[in-house]
Amino acid sequence: MVAVPVSADRIRCLNTALPRPKAAYVLYWAQMNRRATWNYALAHAAEIANANDLPVLVYEGLTCDYKAANDRTHTFILEGVPDSAAELRAIGAGHFFYLRTGHLSSNDILYRLAARAHSVVSDDYPAFIAAQHNTTVPERIGIPYTAVDSSCIVPMSRHEKRNYGAYTIRPKIRRELAACMEPVDMPSLVRKWRDNLLPPDLIALRTNVTPSAIPSLVASCDIDHSIKPSVEYTGGAKAARKRLEIFLKDRLRRYSKESSQPSKHATSNLSPYLHFGHISALQVALAVRDYAEEHKLMAEEFLEELIVRRELAFNFAQFAGEAVESLDILPDWCKRTMKKHAADPRPYLYTPEQFEAATTHDELWNAAQRELLLRGTIHGYYRMYWGKKIIEWSPTYEDALRTMIRLHDIYALDGRDPNTYTNILWCFGLHDRPWGERPVFGQLRYMSFDGMKRKTDVAAYIAEITASNAAHTA
Ligand SMILES: Cc1cc2nc3c(=O)[nH]c(=O)nc-3n(C[C@H](O)[C@H](O)[C@H](O)COP(=O)(O)OP(=O)(O)OC[C@H]3O[C@@H](n4cnc5c(N)ncnc54)[C@H](O)[C@@H]3O)c2cc1C
């Protein structure tokens, strides 16, 4: 059966170069969607390959020189590699993983692989290194370079402008969603991959990643070894699918009532896997919709977060560009109110180091920060509190923004995501509305410890994190 082609509005050709005649393969550079299934970019690479009677080679790299490169992020990414390699092998695609361990190691593998390729397909992603690569590499690569949106369920390109909030993007997503909620139709690869399509000197540079080799591979890298791997998350497509299964069987039925109760563990914990593309949002959405229908459960709240909120974040990042890390991009009312309250005395003042070490006066805040230190995520409900208090206890709004971004860069496995920047800026009023005027916050929404205590089981959460901290730092 012929596969349904990837829809044209997911695909952006980013240069005008011509395909290489007599090429050996089509190259898919998996920058963000590091998976072999439910991947529109891989499907598009397969379409081009089949049309030209060529195999597909998937390239995944991991360098040592991105901001805050450390053992935690490296371990999680490397844990995903054996799954991708095995699943790609099973469909007849090639897989080339390269770990750039030091600043003097080769830094041109993409170009060397591209030198034999018909064309390059990569991920359309509006943040972090992928966004930079997609602006600089196409001009230098010499063959067609296409970016495919495999992150969003409704393609990013269908939103012509930046949305002001969930209320503006929601109707648009609802209109488009039914047609987008279909599994990715992956064409069967006609030409299977053979390693002898690459010269031996290039093959010799390929890094073989097995689960048992990961600690020594990480140790061999010139990165920050003081940030230990997450005590909670193991990377990879298999681990992601396991999380999804647990969510469906145990948590989905509790989600609408308990997702704002951190100690109840009713959320999916999928954000690190979604960030590194170990699982696709579309796969999750369809599994949740189908399971909910079959078991007569409500899935609306979860799908609102996974689709509307997440895709609002992608829409923001797409139009904000590099300004995602700046308060200048905020709506005027936010900037006005912050200007008015810039000199308000702060009730407590902490340095970035005190925040990082979780040594504030507030045990709930410290527990949320410890959750980040230990696990690499913070439960979504307390994450809002975490951000709001950093604003309240920092000398300036800019200091608060820097602290939040820095802590995400270093510790968050789901950091550097469109969701990171959008939600951090949400703490400063993005996608929100003006609230009653008060010190420091002005009209920005305020969150209090008493509110957290009233609405959530603060004591249970603190006890859980304290026990986990004791177990892992003993
Ligand atoms: C200050 C602050 C920083 C944040 N930083 C990040 C971040 O770095 N990376 C990140 O993925 N999320 C971030 N969030 C949003 C949210 O907290 C996380 O997405 C969520 O807690 C992840 O846990 P989960 O996978 O169990 O979520 P679930 O409740 O199971 O939701 C499923 C998925 O929906 C999406 N989602 C959930 N809540 C939101 C939201 N508010 N906005 C957009 N998408 C959402 C995520 O992809 C999530 O994995 C941040 C929120 C705040 C307030």
CATH number where 444 lies? 1.10.579.10
- Any atom of ligand 1 within 6 Å of the Cβ of 419: yes
Whether 312 contacts 324, CB under 8 Å? no
Q: What is the pLDDT of residues 176-226, one digit of tens each?
A: 999 999 999 999 999 999 999 999 999 999 999 999 999 999 999 999 999
| pLDDT computed for residue 228 by the predictor | 98
Residues 388-398, mean pLDDT to the nearest whole number:
98
In-domain check, residue 438 = yes
1 pLDDT band, cuts 50/70/90, is low
In-domain check, residue 377 = yes
Nearest to 274, CA basis, from 106, 427, 76: 76
Residue 444 alpha carbon to ligand 1 centre in Å: 20
Residue 316 alpha carbon to ligand 1 centre in Å: 15
- Any atom of ligand 1 within 6 Å of the Cβ of 417: yes
| pLDDT computed for residue 355 by the predictor | 98
In-domain check, residue 2 = no
- Percentage above 70 pLDDT, the chain: 100
| Whether the predicted model's global pTM rises above the 0.85 cut | yes
| pLDDT computed for residue 474 by the predictor | 72
Q: What is the pLDDT of residues 25-77, one digit of tens each?
A: 999 999 999 999 999 999 999 999 999 999 999 999 999 999 999 999 999 99
Of residues 467 and 4, more confidently modeled: 467
Q: What is the pLDDT of residues 203-215, one digit of tens each?
A: 999 999 999 999 9
Q: What is the pLDDT of residues 352-361, one digit of tens each?
A: 999 999 999 9
In-domain check, residue 211 = no
Q: Residue with the nearest Cα to atom 39 of ligand 1?
A: 305
| pLDDT computed for residue 368 by the predictor | 98
| Domain hosting residue 399, numbered range | 326-469
- Any atom of ligand 1 within 6 Å of the Cβ of 408: yes
Whether 134 contacts 246, CB under 8 Å? no
- Any atom of ligand 1 within 6 Å of the Cβ of 372: no
Amino acid making up residue 440: V
- pLDDT at 472 > cutoff 90: yes
- Any atom of ligand 1 within 6 Å of the Cβ of 414: yes
Residues 78-82, mean pLDDT to the nearest whole number:
98
In-domain check, residue 462 = yes
Best residue among 244, 414, 430, 456 to mutate for probing ligand 1, ranked by most atoms within 8 Å of CB? 414
Number of domains in the chain: 1
In-domain check, residue 421 = yes
Separation between Cα atoms, residue 335 and residue 328, nearest integer Å = 8
Whether 364 contacts 349, CB under 8 Å? no
- pLDDT at 339 > cutoff 80: yes
Residues 114-132, mean pLDDT to the nearest whole number:
97
**Atom nearest to 312 CA in ligand 1:** 43
Whether 384 contacts 427, CB under 8 Å? yes
Residue 302 alpha carbon to ligand 1 centre in Å: 11
| pLDDT computed for residue 340 by the predictor | 98
- pLDDT at 279 > cutoff 90: yes
473 pLDDT band, cuts 50/70/90, is confident
Q: What is the pLDDT of residues 239-255, one digit of tens each?
A: 999 999 999 999 999 99
In-domain check, residue 431 = yes
- Percentage above 90 pLDDT, the chain: 99
Whether 319 contacts 374, CB under 8 Å? no
In-domain check, residue 430 = yes
- pLDDT at 230 > cutoff 80: yes
- Any atom of ligand 1 within 6 Å of the Cβ of 92: no
Residue 385 alpha carbon to ligand 1 centre in Å: 13
Q: Residue with the nearest Cα to atom 38 of ligand 1?
A: 305
Please state, rounded to an integer, the average pLDDT across all residues of the chain. Answer: 97
